[in-house]
Structure 1
Amino acid sequence: MTDNIFLFEGIRMVSDFHSVESLSFAQNFLVKDDDVIIVSFPRSGTHWMIEMVSLIVSKGDPTWVQTVKNFVRCPGLESKDEQKLLLDQAGPRLMLTHLPIQLFPKSYFTSSAKVIYVIRNPRDVVISSYHIINDFNLLNNQESFDEYLHAFIQGDVVFGSWFDHTLGWLTRRDTENFLLMSYEELQRVILFYCVSYIAHICLCSFSLYFSRGKQSSE
């Protein structure tokens, strides 16, 4: 375990971003009924979801997304540098977390706050995680992919086991204030709507072209 890794209730965390105090703050954070919390294991499409939810909140106006950084719009619940931003937010608050369910704020479970849980194929998660960790030297330790894959399977990575994280959160899937979305599903749905929209625009353009052509010929 590298110098900037520490254990919190058996889960590996990074001291650059987390502390015992920030994690205790997250556990005891008072969740409000109108909060929207994006939850995922790291590298599962979190930032993509932030942009989509931000646009929904702003009713499609891109100004907020274009002018305000995503960590300000959607602070990290366990991030020691972003918790002040979270406290300063006016409701409804938008926030994100990678915490496993056992470290999640206790107040959520008696609230009506909405959780959007984003899941991704673990094969893609481990590849993406490996590259981001080594490209930015986040763990102050270069390791081979095989070494990282073994650690990932064993759950010896930041935020713990992908399998435990996913299974823990899936216990909430039948509750009204929990939305399960997969990264792969988002790709298919968005692609479908983009293609449909482009086709619609093209058909309108063709219709306009033909109507103009017909009028000019007359």
Structure 2
Amino acid sequence: MATEPGPDPRRVDPDYDRHGGFPVFEAAQPGPGFERFLTAMRRLQDLAVSADPDPQTWTDAAGRVEALVAQLAPFEAGEGVGPANRVPDLPGAGSLLMPPWVVDKFEADEVLLRVTFSRFHVGGNYAVHGGVLPLLFDSMFGMVIHATGRPISRTAYLNVDYRKITPIDTELHARGWLREAQGRKAFVNAELRDADGNLLAEANGLMVRLLAGQP
């Protein structure tokens, strides 16, 4: 798997570390327990939107979840401190917010991901909710910016065209790339296809480099 990014953006943008609101994210090594925790939590998310037990089971489950909250609450930390979104080798980089994607290529010419949506992501009729796909594409746009070595940027706009129903429980392939760069502006594209190459959705967007002190 190719995971080498482009040039260090700090060389391109001397004010990189002064762009407000973005901590410097470094890879975390939380240990194998974190991966087990994420796997269990993803399954729990699926069950939370699909299970239909008796009332007492809901009560018992609520008590267990409340106990887990109490166990973790003393360790709540700021952005960029906890391992979530900082473990590149785990699906979704270790973030439950993100669909569980796996990086196959992370280079300046393109970023390639494999992603499998589950019951948690269903909008209706066992199809992925339309609002989930912009989240995937927006995350991919950020990866493209980083892979090309461009300075830290925010999304100015993101357009999504839905071509076919996006299924759950099947491995899909996403690709993102930089289409054009104009000063602070980076125009990016992305697409999502199934195993047979059918286009499910595609996106285009504009990422704008932040100015010094801009959040």
Pairwise same-fold verdict (TM > 0.5): no
Which structure carries more helix by proportion? Answer: 1
TM-score norm. by structure 1 comes to 0.26
TM-score, L = length of structure 2:
0.26
